[in-house]
Amino acid sequence: MPNDKTAAAQAPATAEKTAGAAPDTAATTAKTAPATTPPTATAGSATLPGTGRRTAAITVLVTGANGQLGNEMRRIAATDATTAPAAATAPGNVRYLFTDVAELDITDPQAVRRTMRENDVEVIVNCAAYTNVNKAEEDEAAADLLNHRAVANLAAAARERGATLIHISTDYVYGRTKLAGEKAIAEAGCDALILRTAWLYSEFGNNFVKTMLRLTAQTPRVKVVFDQAGTPTYAADLAGAIHRMISSGAYRGNEGTYHFSNEGVCSWYDFAHEIAVLAGLDPARVIPCHSEEFPSPVERPRYSVLDKTKIKETFNLTIPYWRDALERCLERLGAQTAGTAI
């Protein structure tokens, strides 16, 4: 940005009406209010005055908190018994400090250092990213500011404070800026866990699932590519895994790069077809097509299934199958009634 931007998965899908087809480029930025209002995190979501003292509670700074993953972290903070209000000091408690660009501009290194110092932050979860893939190619400077330079600021502050940085990355590097961010973390020398994920969706903001619900309900034909395979990631499952790593203390001593998505493999077409089926819409409206039918400045990988062996074994995680996760998301959206459009 200078704003914390998050965006929906830039899936290659198009809606055919009466003439031609136009690529879907739906995206949402963190400075815009999310489409679904997140719960108020009364437990574990307090802004703490600077004390200069470490307590038994872990203070976790979440950046990009208005995006899909950030909102799922807010939900956990509001409902999980291991989170703590500002006054709590019981061992094992987690105290979350949620910020987006209005509260903290992470492209400003002094602002980052000040927030870390005043709130005695021990863990940073960086959910902020410039993820509009096509625009990242067109405006690399803006993407670099958030995906690289802001990450360098967080990593430097973490190193100075002895904090751990949990950075959310992607299954492939677009515009070179995400890779630069990962390299900046390594160069800073801070304790860090890099979590690469893919095809992220949730009830919050704009994303592929909500776009397909709308298009399949409103248009007779929706073309979706079948020759790009991967695995969707329900943001709630990723948020749950991150919270478990933090609340259990397992993040300590397990620094490194990990992969996380739901289990299984599907194409974008398979994903869109299953969205229609589970939502009670007409799956026959979803039509498979080749990637070549919709030229893009971004070269997307044909196969980007993430190997999650390392994260499952290290943190003893059981990860849900992608279709089961999708069903839970649609239940939350209330989208299983035929004809529902989001």
Residue 159 CA to residue 155 CA, distance in Å, equals 6
Contact 254, 310 (CB under 8 A): no
Asked if 151 and 181 count as a contact pair (C-beta separation under 8 A), the reply is: yes
In which residue are the tokens 């330079």 written? Answer: 149
SS3 145: helix
Whose tokens are 């939350």? That residue is: 332
Rounded distance, CA 89 to CA 128, Å? 29
Q: Is 174 a catalytic residue?
A: yes
Marked catalytic residue, from 96, 130, 172, 174: 174
How many angstroms separate the CA atoms of 243 and 7, rounded?
22
Rounded Cα distance between 63 and 73, Å, is 11
Report how far apart, in Å, the C-alpha atoms of 253 and of each of 8, 83, 109 are.
32, 22, 26
| Tokens standing for residue 115 | 């927030």
**So which residues are the catalytic ones?**
174
